[in-house]
Amino acid sequence: MSRRGAGVSFCFIAAFLFATRYICAAIFGSNVSSWSSGLYNSMLGYIGNGLNTFAVISLIVGIIYLIASEFIEKDNDNDKELESIEINDNERGE
């Protein structure tokens, strides 16, 4: 898997973990007869902040991979261009 693919995968994992926290709170309170924002916030409190922490870590890692893939790709393109110039010069006898 390329760095770009890994970065996108980590960003997808971050989005999945972020959404999972809210879905878990909704499932946790699915048997409640009346809803309020205070009740939903307390359900989110029962879920905890672990999913958000992992989501933020995954998002940061994904962004780092995406940025790294752009810089490494530019370096590889420059190297390939230099190699092709050197090959052309050698074929001409320069």
Other beta carbons within 10 Å of 14: 21
Residue with tokens 């390939």: 80
pTM of the full structure: 0.70
Residue type for position 23? I
Question: Who has greater pLDDT, 77 or 46?
Answer: 46
Task: List phi, psi (to 5°) of 48.
Answer: 95, 180
pLDDT in tens, 22-67: 999 989 888 888 888 888 888 988 888 999 999 999 999 999 999 9
Q: Would you say 14 and 58 are in contact if contact means Cβ atoms under 8 Å apart?
A: yes
Per-domain residue ranges of the chain: 3-92
